[in-house]
Amino acid sequence: MNADYIKWRDNMSFKNKVVYQIYPMSFMDSNNDGMGDIRGIIGKLDYLENLGVDMLWITPVYSSPKFDNGYDIADYYNIDPQFGTMEDFDELIEKAKEKNIGIIMDIVANHTSTHHDWFKKALLGDKKYQDFYVFRDKAFVEKHPINSIFGGDAWEYVEELNLYYLHNFDKTQADLDWDNEEVREEVYKMLNFWLNKGVKGFRFDVIDMISKEFDKLSMSNGPKLHEYIKEMNKKSFGNFETLTVGETWSADTEHAKLYSNPDGSEFSMVFTFEHIMYTMNKWETTIDKQKLKGIFEKYQKELFGKGWNSLFFNNHDLPRLISRYGEEEYREITGKQWAMILHSMAGTPFIYQGEEIGMTNRAWTREEMRDVEAINYYNEAIKTHEESYVMDKVRKISRDNARTPMQWDDSDYGGFSKENPWIIVNENYKDINVKKALEDKDSLFYTYKKLIKLRKEEEILVEGDFNLIDLGEDFFAYKRTYKGQELILVSNLTKEEKTLDFVAKGELFMSNYEKEEKNYRSYETRIYLSK
């Protein structure tokens, strides 16, 4: 690691940054083919600058057959023509840089598409490339039954080879074998290619799965996991000024501390999921707000000074925040409530496109569904459940909820495109759109904008410690302290008006209601600050 890097990392200058996630397929379509693209993003940089975010995480734009919307990469060194060209991408890096916005690439290296050259060569019998993947014979496969995360068997038979290959996701996403040094070297080479282009960070897809333990039938947290990440850091991004974040569904606080060790040996931070997944089966998970308080408390306290976490409720895999944690009838109020709760904690906030204007889930029909995971779930679940039960789950949980086109204005297709988009636009675009949000000074957009600004102005948001305040089941409240200052957040978790004896020290700094009253109204949330 070079000296500049160490200095920067010691100061952890990413600590007051805010990241905005873009799902290019659904962000903005510049050439009116129904699919979002890179030039669409370039055209919206002014909007992102206005919001005030520091970095853009762009989900995969590499060449891909898109069975899993780009998380099935066929060529790590090229831009998919549907998204544009490498020149467009270079221009995005350049234009974003002019606005002090860095680009974060999404690295999907646990697996490649079966359309990748390596896999094609493997299929043709090339041993070198077979060893890039996890090919096993029948005896091994029978001893090691593994289910795919997208449903069904994770082993796919290849007749010509009389072997099976492992795919933890769709059968077109073949797992790479990270125990093969050549594979790892290929990944580092690719990372350096993008770093040399000027990208400022990486988000590592399902990175907790790169080291597997077949004996235990365990596909994540294997014995070499942290060793490989350290090696990757040394040989690629550790030599540059970057913000890196690992997607780690299986991480607990102990793993999170290793991944985000302040010595800079692994990543800057991780995405942990305990606050999202309360049960192993995502389709059956319901939100438990009492548990949620405890989970936040645990991560905030245990990582304090020992690691760094991200702060998020939404991404391209998760249902919309307001539909899930808030209430659509109180759209703006609950949108502001959860934004304030999340953004006032320690960690790096990630905002997912449309979250800042309060986009919501929609009522899908079977024909309108696009997501491979949801379609697989439907096909399985329908064998044992009523249609209405299955569709209810899809409407609540499906990833398609996050993937409807960004709602820019009230013109056709929400201003996303002039042509029928690849996925249906949420019908509520006439009411919920960027144009309207920008015109209303009190809109959710401005709450996000303010919270982003505060993170830069008030050190307590970044550095303060965290303690829950117990105000009973109906409230979520916490206190952060830093250098004699105090920040207190109090949030009414219920729709009912509540009286509260507790008096917070300091001035009312921010609220999701316009006028102050004594009682806490439906979902009322206040931040007090004393200096």
Contact residues toward ligand GLC (CB under 6 A) are 68, 71, 108, 169, 205-206, 247, 316-317
Say how far apart CA 215 and CA 3 lie, in whole Å.
42
Q: Which residues of 156-184 are buried (b: 16+ CB within 10 A; e: fewer)?
A: beeeeeebbbbbbbbbbbbbbbbeeeebb
37 vs 205, beta carbon nearer ligand GLC: 205
Burial of residue 278 (CB within 10 Å: 0-12, 13-18, 19+) is middle
Write down the least CB distance from residue 317 to ligand GLC, Å: 5
Instruction: CB nearer to ligand GLC: give 400 or 524.
Output: 400
117 CB-contact burial (10 Å; exposed 0-12 / middle 13-18 / buried 19+): exposed
Length of the chain, please? 531
State the catalytic residue, choosing from 68, 231, 247, 274: 247
- C-alpha to C-alpha distance for 132 and 120, rounded to whole angstroms: 11
Q: Which is nearer to ligand GLC, 71 or 155 (CB)?
A: 71
- Enumerate residues 6+ apart whose C-beta is below 8 A from 466: 297, 300, 301, 304, 345, 346, 478, 479, 480
The continuous run of DSSP H or E covering 59 comes out as: none
Tell me whether residue 205 is one of the annotated catalytic residues.
yes
Q: Which residue in the block uniquely carries the two structure tokens 């043709």? A: 124
Pairing of strands 55-58, 62-63: unpaired
Residue 186's Cα: distance from chain center in Å? 25
Nearest-approach distance from CB 158 to ligand GLC, in angstroms: 21
Residue with Cβ nearer ligand GLC (266 or 373): 373
> Measured from the CB of residue 72, what is the shortest distance to ligand GLC in angstroms?
7
Compute CA distances 103 → 19, 50, 66, 97, whole Å: 10, 17, 22, 8
Count CB atoms within 10 A of the CB of residue 349: 23
Q: In whole angstroms, how close is the CB of 215 to ligand GLC at the nearest point?
A: 24
If the CB atoms of residues 108 and 462 are measured against ligand GLC, the closer one turns out to be 108
What is the distance between the alpha carbons of residues 304 and 478, in angstroms, rounded to a whole number?
15
Closest distance to ligand GLC from the beta carbon of 108 (Å)? 5
Give residue for tokens 């990175």: 207
Q: Residue 14 gets which letter from DSSP?
A: G
CB of 247 to ligand GLC, least distance (A): 6
CB-nearer residue toward ligand GLC: 68 or 80: 68
Minimum gap (Å) between residue 312 Cβ and ligand GLC: 12
3-class secondary structure, 433? coil
- What span, in angstroms and rounded, lies between the C-alpha atoms of 267 and 247? 11
Residue sitting closest to ligand GLC (CB): 71
Q: Residue 115 CB, nearest distance to ligand GLC (Å)?
A: 15
**CB nearer to ligand GLC: pick between 246 and 464:** 246
Say which of 29, 106, 177, 205 is annotated catalytic: 205
Rounded to a whole number of angstroms, the minimum distance from the CB of residue 392 to ligand GLC is: 22
Give the residue from 109, 91, 89, 119 showing the smallest Cα distance to 24: 89
Question: Is the CB of 72 or the CB of 88 nearer to ligand GLC?
Answer: 72
Q: Exposed (0-12), middle (13-18) or buried (19+): which is 207, by Cβ within 10 Å? A: buried
Helix (H) / strand (E) containing 380: helix 372-381
Nearer to ligand GLC, 202 or 240 (CB): 202
Report the SS3 class of residue 435. Answer: helix
Task: Report the relative pairing of strands 467-468 and 475-482 from DSSP bridges.
Answer: antiparallel
Q: Find the shortest distance in angstroms from Cβ 194 to ligand GLC.
A: 18
Are the C-beta atoms of 1 and 239 separated by less than 8 Å?
A: yes
Collect all residues with Cβ–Cβ distance below 8 Å to 83 and sequence separation of at least 6: 24, 35, 36, 37, 38, 61
Query: Toward ligand GLC, which CB reaches closer, 122 or 176?
Result: 176
List the catalytic residues: 205, 247
